[in-house]
Amino acid sequence: MTKDIIVTVPKLNLPGGVSAFWNALLPEFHKMDEVRFRTLEIGRHGKNVFGPLVDIWNLRKATKTNTDLILLNPSLGSRSFFRDAFFAKYLIRNNIPFVVFFHGWSLEFQERIDKKYISFFQSTLGKAKKIFVLSGDFETKLKAWGYQGEVVVATTTVNSQLFENQVPATDHTPNPEKIKILFLSRLIKAKGIYETIAAFENLRKDYKNIQLIIAGSGEEFTDLQELIKENKDITLTGHVEGQDKINLYKECSLYCLPSYSEGLPTSVLEAMAFGKPVITTPVGGLKSFFQDKTMGFFVETKNSSDLEAKLRTMLQEDGLREKMGSFNYNYAHQHIMSDKVAQKILDEITPFL
């Protein structure tokens, strides 16, 4: 008998990590005969104070038909936490089982829960049959708050459809004409973009065949345009998607994202799936997932000197980029493509169906 599952999601036609996650997974779930996934779009009400009430009303309507399980997708932040906690209250009252997948995780809001809301968590989201998180640190915190169920340290995913017939990069020759370093992200200071530029400019004094590609849009875009306008070896592309984004991954030699904080960024996983070594920071889900010195290198946050040193190692050691890139390609296609992640999630929730 087919089991009916409702997944709460943001607007799937808008950009965002959670939207990308479910846009990748839902086609995989739709191929499965044993389950039927329905989406319930929530949030994005702007300043409408009645927005949460609208979401609750829509949840009630959605559960009027047979529902075997609800999968809530909050972030650990003020608005999302309280909205989904009230979802949980409704589901508990109506004996509808639910699981929770925390995507974002605010350390600042974590402290607020420590001080004021542990018991509220325990009586709401803490009643979930199972909780998915993106970091072992988050698992530890949930246990400290008294959660008695199983916590699964999961990953985000890479859309399998984007990588059909792809092979590892072939540009790792001894002296390629250009070694392209790719930074692809929202252009905000906390992604480490200024440290990346500082490290690159120092390296450029010794390496004439390197190029930095900065892809994305965000609040720093105009300032970055001004900063790099005299540097012909740095390219600022603006927002990219589809085939343009695929081409950037295929053409680069390594990927760099020295963020100050993260969940588990899809761009890191995508770069791995294209067979690229990665330089990033031990924050959020990366701390648990990323294998330092195997998938690439960890660097200290806000430290352009450390970033420069690790980039220099990548440039100096023959075959290192190829070795790490090949590992990443194989690992990604075995473990984090959307078909694999969808099956893992189904396996985890099956006992509650």
Q: Is the pLDDT of residue 168 over 50?
A: no
pLDDT band at 133 (very low <50, low <70, confident <90, very high): very high
- The angle subtended at Cα 245 by Cα 161 and Cα 220, nearest 5°, is 135
pLDDT at 317: 82
**DSSP symbol at 109:** H
Share of the chain above pLDDT 70, in %: 96
Looking at domain 161-335, its CATH superfamily turns out to be Glycogen Phosphorylase B; (3.40.50.2000)
- The angle subtended at Cα 134 by Cα 216 and Cα 192, nearest 5°, is 35
The rounded Cα 235 to chain-centroid distance in angstroms is: 24
Q: For 165-173, what is the mean pLDDT? A: 48
Q: Is the pLDDT of residue 242 over 90?
A: no
Share of the chain above pLDDT 90, in %: 84
Q: Is the pLDDT of residue 174 over 70?
A: no
pLDDT in tens, 3-41: 999 999 999 988 788 999 999 999 999 999 999 999 999
Fold of 3-157+337-352: Rossmann fold (3.40.50)
Q: Give the domain ranges of the chain.
A: 3-157+337-352, 161-335
Q: Which two tokens stand for residue 275?
A: 């067979």
Which of 2, 13, 84 is closest to 35 using CA atoms? 2
pLDDT band at 172 (very low <50, low <70, confident <90, very high): very low
- Cβ atoms of residues 29 and 346 within 8 Å: yes
Q: Is the pLDDT of residue 163 over 90?
A: no
pLDDT at 1: 83
**Fold agreement (3-157+337-352, 161-335):** yes
Q: Is the pLDDT of residue 45 over 90?
A: no
